[in-house]
Amino acid sequence: MINWTTIKKSIIGLAPMDGITDAAYRELIDKYSKPDVLFTEFVAVEGITHGVTSLFKCFLRHKTETPIIAQLFGSDLKAFYKATFIAAELGFDGIDINMGCPDNNIMKKGGGGALIGKPDHAKNIIKTVKEAVNDWYEGKSMEDAQVAPKIIEWIKSIASPSFSKRNKLPVTVKTRTGLDYSVTEFWISQLLEASPEAITLHGRTLLQMYKGLADWVEIEKASKLVRQTSTIFLGNGDVKTMAQAKKRIEEYDLDGILVGRGTLGNPWFFSDKVPTLKERFAAMVEHSDLYLKYRPELKLYPMRKHLAWYCTGFEGSRAVRDRLMKVVTIEDLKSILSSLQT
Ligand SMILES: Cc1cc2nc3c(=O)[nH]c(=O)nc-3n(C[C@H](O)[C@H](O)[C@H](O)COP(=O)(O)O)c2cc1C
């Protein structure tokens, strides 16, 4: 379990990224550079409690000492309650609630970033997840929480006995600065009323999506507010190097930073290592092998984007990337890489 309040300061962790921070990515990055904390991709509470099997794959995980936080999104309180039991039984080290996703489909259903416009409901979600964490800690079973029998069966088939120790899991929130414009101080004060153990703030509004630059002045405003409480505060947005992460922590008086896109194609991100081309090619194969270990049914189609991210900055890299966009099997990948001189 992660204890956000006693964890060393200057936390630098891997941000959640849907379609990217899956089990293979987390395992690889953990092995290569050990971030302080790892987040899963976000998982829809309504979907997972209705037994949408593809979502269970997001909750596959490797064994590690590094805390892994399960991120949930949605709007329905009952589904949040049950999904918290599912994540707890699977041995995750904390539950993070997504209140910042700008995707229209998610927002229309009242989840993700839409919660910024509904602070009372947002606080109820935090309260519900905390209740679920508490009930699970005190010994309630998945049956008590009315998790569907087929889901219980699946969990029992994959959960390791070492995961069965019941800890009081911390409940955290990841969010943005506002809907159309920043309302950081109002919104963060609302969240603080529900006392989440940590808040991560991505310094953009929902309207901005990923455009422009993250606004670190807004992050600083939030940091000043959060400082007056026992909640841990992490900044997020556009950090590209470890040196930059450390500087921002100092500059804006943060407990830490989460990094997302800066890690793409660079599982060494959280160390000081600059890999050689040969090492990058080896990581491409290792990453692909891991991917197939967790998702053999998908072949290497979803890995193509990762392969392109690894494959930059050398003469002829563009042509190699074009070839990589056609790989389906590990043999295809190895054959392309072996034809290159490193
Ligand atoms: C492809 C992609 C998927 C993302 N998925 C999630 C997600 O599942 N949950 C979440 O809270 N944020 C998600 N984000 C947002 C990131 O966690 C992060 O807040 C954002 O990318 C800014 O940080 P960065 O500049 O370090 O990438 C996603 C971002 C990207 C680019």
Residues 117-132 pLDDT 10s:
999 999 999 999 999 9
Residues 186-236 pLDDT 10s:
999 999 999 999 999 999 999 999 999 999 999 999 999 999 999 999 999
- Residues 201 and 175 both lie in one domain: yes
State if residue 175 touches ligand 1 by the CB under 6 angstroms criterion. Answer: no
- Residues 65 and 99 both lie in one domain: yes
- Residues 155 and 245 both lie in one domain: yes
In a domain, 137, yes or no: yes
pLDDT at 272 over 90: no
Report the distance separating Cα 64 and Cα 78, nearest Å: 30
Q: Which of 232, 263, 294 is the last residue of a domain?
A: 263
**What share of the chain has pLDDT > 90, as a percent?**
88
Element (H, E) at 307: helix 304-310
Q: Is 198 helix (H, G, I), strand (E, B) or coil?
A: strand
Q: How many CB atoms lie within 10 A of CB 139?
A: 8
CB 155 within 8 A of CB 142: yes
In a domain, 158, yes or no: yes
For the residues of 128-143, what is the DSSP string, one character each? Answer: HHHHHHHHHHTT--TT
State if residue 135 touches ligand 1 by the CB under 6 angstroms criterion. Answer: no
State if residue 305 touches ligand 1 by the CB under 6 angstroms criterion. Answer: no
Instruction: Say how many domains are in the chain.
Output: 2
The residue range of the domain holding 237 is 11-263
State if residue 113 touches ligand 1 by the CB under 6 angstroms criterion. Answer: no
State if residue 103 touches ligand 1 by the CB under 6 angstroms criterion. Answer: no
Q: Which residues contact 95 (CB under 8 A, 6 or more apart)?
A: 69, 70, 71, 72, 84, 87, 88, 129, 133, 169, 170, 171, 172
- Residues 236 and 164 both lie in one domain: yes
Residues 284-301 pLDDT 10s:
999 999 999 999 999 999
- Residues 324 and 195 both lie in one domain: no
Residue nearest atom 18 of ligand 1, based on CA coordinates? 260
More confident of the two residues 55 and 304 = 304
Per DSSP, what are the bridge partners of residue 72? Answer: 43, 97
- Residues 225 and 292 both lie in one domain: no
Task: Please report, for the domain that includes residue 129, its CATH number.
Answer: 3.20.20.70
Per DSSP, what are the bridge partners of residue 97? Answer: 72, 173
State if residue 16 touches ligand 1 by the CB under 6 angstroms criterion. Answer: yes
Both tokens assigned to 89:
């039984």
- Residues 23 and 125 both lie in one domain: yes
In a domain, 268, yes or no: no
Tell me the CB-side half-sphere exposure of residue 285, using CA atoms within 13 A. 14
- Residues 246 and 298 both lie in one domain: no
Q: Which of 233, 263, 293 is the last residue of a domain?
A: 263
More confident of the two residues 9 and 112 = 112
| Average pLDDT for the chain | 94
In Å, how far from its chain's centre is CA 98?
A: 9
What is the best residue among 40, 202, 241 to mutate for testing ligand 1's pocket, by most ligand atoms within 8 Å of CB?
Answer: 202
- Residues 114 and 244 both lie in one domain: yes
Considering only CA atoms, which of 61, 65, 56 is closest in space to residue 23?
61
In a domain, 311, yes or no: yes
Q: Which of 202, 234, 263 is the last residue of a domain?
A: 263
Question: Taking residues 263-268, what's their average pLDDT?
Answer: 98
pLDDT at 6 over 70: no
